[in-house]
Amino acid sequence: MANTITYGQLFERVLQERLARPQNWKEMCDVTMSNDRIINSSLVSTTGGWAAVGTLTRGTAFDPTDVVQANQTLTISTGRHNTTYFDFGDLSQSPWTTEREIFERTGERLGEFIETDVLAQHGSWRNIGLVGGTWTDNNATAGAVSASSVDDLIRLLRTVIRQQNGHEKLQSNGLGIVWSPASFEFVEALDRQGLLKPSLIKAKVQQWITHTKQAIAMQVKRLSEKEPIQFGYATV
């Protein structure tokens, strides 16, 4: 004889861990959140003879300099999406996946896309090249960071910023570099040698770049639960 048994089953809820890629664009870029399509940034132009210092002869007439106001516009026109379809009946009857988990994954993927897109614009940034083992400003010769050259690179970056009259910004905002994992190893070695302050070491690594700040504007659309997550962004 043989018994027919129905055994109980246990369903264990296990979240699949996802290795998140590093994201630095929120820290390295000037980010503006807006629901408007066009963002205007007005400023006083520094081109031409504005605020130029001229000679003055006592008792003689002189001409003042003109003030020119300029306007820069940033248009939010590029749209991207990461749409996930999930039947509400299945979502309510299956406790193994929640809306929060879906939206968190969507946010991670969108952030990773922006990170890649921002770094892909390196062609419009200032180049630092490695020529004959020496880091050289405004040179496009590709080179890899090494244990013997990483400190030279950091010093050159600070020099370039000062030469471009960015000393005050350097003092207030500091210097930001996005390192590759292999290059960051040499930065950590500098810290062990006592050549860098601990506050300069940040374990966020991606591709090595030297850059000027990029402006990113994101358009956030308020959606109902039945609509896909959407956003638009533009860079300058």
pLDDT of amino acid 88: 82
Closest by CA to 21, choosing from 198, 181, 184, is 181
Rounded Cα distance between 7 and 35, Å, is: 56
For residues 233, 214, 186 and 149, what is the CA-based torsion angle, rounded to 10 degrees? 150
Q: Which residues contact 223 (CB under 8 A, 6 or more apart)?
A: 229, 230
SS (H, E, C) the chain: CCCCCCCCCCCCCCCCCCCCCCCCHHHHCEEEEECCCEEEEEEECCCCCCCCCCCCCCCCCCCCCCCCEEEEEEECCEEEECCCCCCHHHHHHCCCCCHHHHHHHHHHHHHHHHHHHHHCCHHHCCCEEEECCEEEECCCCCCCCCCCCHHHHHHHHHHHHHHCCCHHHHHHHCCCCEECHHHHHHHHHHHHCCCCCHHHCCCCECCCECCCCCEEEEEECCCCCCCCCEEEEEEC
SS (H, E, C) 84-114: CCCCHHHHHHCCCCCHHHHHHHHHHHHHHHH
Domain boundaries of the chain, sorted by first residue = 25-45+70-121+215-235, 130-200
What is the per-residue pLDDT for 227? 42
pLDDT in the model for residue 47: 67
pLDDT value of position 8: 80
Give the span between the Cα atoms of 22 and 120, in whole angstroms. Answer: 15
Per-residue pLDDT at 191: 66
The confidence score (pLDDT) of residue 14 equals 62
**pLDDT of amino acid 159:** 92
The predicted structure's pLDDT at residue 16: 58
Beta bridge mates, 47: none
Rounded mean pLDDT for each run of 10 residues along the chain, 236 residues in total: 82 66 82 86 73 84 81 86 82 78 84 89 87 89 88 90 88 83 86 52 37 43 39 44
Rounded CA-CA distance 233/192 in Å is: 40
